[in-house]
Amino acid sequence: MPEQSDALELRLHLLGPAAEIPPSAPVSATGGGRAGVNLTAEGADLFIAVPDRPLAEVRWIVDRIIRSVTAVAELEAASVVAAEGLSDAGVVSVGLDLHHRFGGRVHIPASPALAARVRDIGAREDEYRAWVDEDASTRTSLAICRDIRELAAHHDHIEAEILDEEALGERGLRLLLAVGSGSEASPARLALARYRPPGASQPPLMLLGKGITFDTGGINVKPYESFVSAMKNDMGGAALAYSLFHALVASGYPEPISLVIPACENSIGPRAMRPGTIVKSYRGPTVRIDHTDAEGRLILADALAYAADTDGPTQVLSFATLTTAALVSYGPYATPVHFADPELQAMLRRASEETGEDLHMFPERVWHLEANRDREADLRNTARLPGDASRGAGSRNAAHFLKHFTDVPLCHFDIFASTWNWSGEAPGAGYGATGAPLRTLIRAFEEPRGR
């Protein structure tokens, strides 16, 4: 067979004590990649060659090689010396992986502009990851509201509004109240932040994030096999929405943006919602609580309907660790994206190719909408397709549940698989949050749609 030509050659200088690495030692490689390392007085020079593959695979191969070096030497920082065959966006994405692996100590001497971009996006990914990794006893709904208030207090063009339990009851957000009813430490809240830049008069882009600060499963208690020990990550959608909002505002985004975060803990207690209860939603349809561990779609439904009424957005982007089906069906790195219109699909595909994060697009289908119907109530929170398919399509059915609660164009990202390092091999990530797919969303929305 003919040899496969290399599409990328990456040279890194890794700083720190490298005496344990013998000169010119071979480095473990995978996926067709090649690598070599040479000692220097300050650390190690690492050469990596990768065949012609998508950037998502390049990132994974490069990270595996760097892991093999750092496993035998305590290196402290990285410098990108050369990156032949890699676009500027690709250099930034590899730089971001190095940023996370080396605690922000990454340098790109040949391009201060790319280094600055790594720092800027890295700060937002650090923020996103910190929210998700924080202990659920402190990253409560109240802490989320505090951070949103503080962001607004430091920016002239952001206003914050927090709805507590009394205000939620007055406005009829009963689904959100039902989910949060069992917790005193992290009670139901709806946090809103509205960015209105000077001179902008058009309706906003809305960013909606699920903020379940810990998910016990409720009375239908989540078993160990359902990742209950990692369920502090169930507010990953809120963290992603907040960090994207922060990034766009900091970049001087010229159009209005609304941030909407329904937040609470899905807890167990005498006030916790019961299976079989029928709750009237803010929008009007009644919902039977078939299973208390399908709570994320409930809080999103009320928040979506309410915020669409009050803010009148042009489009809603919804982010949620909504279903374990996203991990089971699509693997540890993929993000299912539901309902993106053709223009948005093109933006997201182009951005994901440039950042090396996998997005998979799925359209609206009537049978998934109808799978959410119920005999006792209008809807139920555990959709079922008929017959032999009754246990399938969990991510798609849950996304379609949300379609019953707004007429505004909605694009839903099920980030359960991609936001947490389930495989242990996500590029640049240790145990816990990965930061995905924030860099893709920042890249996609660098320019407002239609410009």
Residue 8 structure tokens: 């990328």
DSSP state string for 309-378: HHH--SEEEEEE---THHHHHH-SS-EEEES--HHHHHHHHHHHHHHT--EEEE---HHHHHTTB-SSSS
Tell me if residue 297 is catalytic: yes
User: For residue 362, which phi and psi values (nearest 5 degrees)?
Assistant: -135, 135
Q: How many CA atoms lie within 13 A of 336 on its CB side?
A: 28
Strand partners, 50: 8
3-state class percentages of the chain: helix first, strand second, coil last, to nearest 5: 35, 20, 40
Contact 65, 33 (CB under 8 A): yes
Give the span between the Cα atoms of 341 and 301, in whole angstroms.
20
Residue 435 structure tokens: 């930061």
Contact 195, 256 (CB under 8 A): yes
Contact 258, 204 (CB under 8 A): yes
* Strand 211-215 with 257-266, pairing: parallel
Q: Which of 117, 174, 297, 443 is catalytic?
A: 297
Contact 430, 421 (CB under 8 A): yes
Q: Which of 210, 222, 232, 443 is catalytic?
A: 222
Amino acid identity, position 283: R
* Strand 315-320 with 205-209, pairing: parallel
CB count, 10 Å around CB of 223? 10
Give the span between the Cα atoms of 180 and 185, in whole angstroms.
10
H or E segment and range at residue 68: helix 55-70
Closest CA to 373 of 383, 363, 365: 383
Tell me if residue 280 is catalytic: no
> Helix 236-250 and helix 112-133: axis angle, to 10°?
150
* Catalytically active residues, by annotation: 222, 297
